[in-house]
């Protein structure tokens, strides 16, 4: 296992490069449907891979390298999302992260997420707790009368709007990448994050272990834990720090 401080240094280097590209207006990107792909994704991918190979012999599965997707069946492998929130990054918003995790038998056992614009580094190791900037996150109880919902629209929309109204949320937070939203639920900045669209394992796994170390986890809209044996998560997600609340949301939406 690579030490969390080394992982932070790797992700910090990645994000410094990303900031440099933005500062020098050297970002090139393409839009395919709702997907943004940029030269920044590829640069971040190469930096992370080159460093991981120095410290570990485990194979690396990256969003940016389709040939690596075959490693999903490996007992142990690194799963990386070099730039999560590419649209936010390319459009000048702060809601992007660089994230990775170590997968063992189709579940994350270590995860790390770095949000450079907020100076937040999240990490978790199975059985050792979840941390933000190396301070242990507490398993805080939810204030059910003042719930905060987070999503990436200017105001609640779609399934988020339904949940916001039904559960009488008091505050809505606009944010960027999936990894960042999951992290902000884990540290208590937000309480609920829900999506009814397809996602990928690299979007979810690094943050899922944060919640697992807080006695929760991401579930899908069928009420099941996430199946990381497939690249695509078909059935949406519900993310809170309290599984009882997650299950109530799932029953309401089913």
Instruction: Write the DSSP assignment of 19-78 as a string of letters.
Output: HHHHHTT---EEEETTEEEEHHHHHHHHHHHHHHHHH--S-EEETT-GGGGGGGGSSEEE
Residue after which a domain boundary falls, among 110, 136, 162 = 136
* Residue 111 within any structural domain of the chain: yes
CATH number of the domain within which 78 lies: 3.30.540.10
Chain-centre distance for alpha carbon 168: 25
User: How high is the pLDDT of residue 234?
Assistant: 95
Highest mean pLDDT among 30-39, 80-89, 147-156: 147-156
pLDDT beyond 70 at 31 = no
Task: Using the predicted structure, report yes or no on whether residue 26 has a pLDDT greater than 80.
Answer: no
Q: In this model, does residue 153 exceed pLDDT 90? A: yes
225: domain CATH number?
3.40.190.80
What tokens were used for 172?
């809505």
CA 63 to chain centre: 13
Q: What is the pTM of this model?
A: 0.93
pLDDT greater at residue 24 or residue 102: 102
Specify whether 82 is located in the same domain as 170.
no
Residues 130 and 16 in one domain: yes
**pLDDT band of 24, cuts 50, 70, 90:** low
Q: Which pLDDT score is estimated for 90?
A: 82
pLDDT of 37: 61
Number of domains the chain is built from: 2
Q: Between these two residues, 34 and 69, which has the higher pLDDT value?
A: 69
The residues with which 78 forms a beta bridge, in sequence order, are 60, 102
Question: What is the span of the domain harbouring residue 88?
Answer: 4-136
Same domain, 76 and 173: no
Q: Within this chain, do residues 11 and 107 fall inside the same structural domain, yes or no? A: yes
Q: Is the pLDDT of residue 240 over 80?
A: yes
């Amino acid at each position: 296992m690579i030490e969390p401080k080394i992982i932070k240094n790797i992700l910090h280097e990645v994000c410094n490069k990303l900031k440099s590209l933005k500062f020098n207006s050297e970002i090139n990107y393409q839009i395919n449907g709702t997907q943004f792909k940029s030269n920044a994704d590829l640069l971040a991918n190469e930096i992370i891979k080159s460093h991981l190979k120095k410290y570990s012999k485990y194979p690396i599965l990256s969003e940016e390298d389709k040939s690596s997707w075959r490693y999903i069946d490996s007992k142990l492998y690194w799963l990386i999302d070099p730039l999560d929130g590419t649209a936010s990054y390319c459009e000048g918003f702060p809601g992007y992260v660089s994230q990775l995790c170590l997968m063992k038998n189709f579940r994350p056992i270590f995860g790390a997420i770095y949000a450079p614009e907020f100076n937040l580094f999240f990490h978790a190791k199975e059985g050792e707790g979840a941390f933000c900037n190396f301070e242990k996150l507490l398993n805080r109880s939810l204030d059910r009368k003042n719930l905060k919902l987070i999503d990436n629209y200017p105001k609640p929309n779609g399934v988020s709007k339904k949940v916001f109204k039904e559960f009488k949320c008091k505050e809505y937070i606009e944010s960027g990448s999936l990894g960042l939203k999951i992290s902000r639920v884990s540290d208590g900045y937000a309480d609920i994050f829900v999506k009814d669209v397809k996602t990928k394992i690299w979007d979810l796994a690094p943050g899922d272990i944060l919640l697992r170390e807080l006695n929760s986890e991401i579930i899908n809209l069928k009420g099941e834990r996430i199946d990381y044996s497939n690249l695509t998560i078909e059935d949406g997600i519900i993310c809170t720090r309290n599984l009882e609340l997650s299950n109530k949301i799932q029953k309401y939406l089913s």
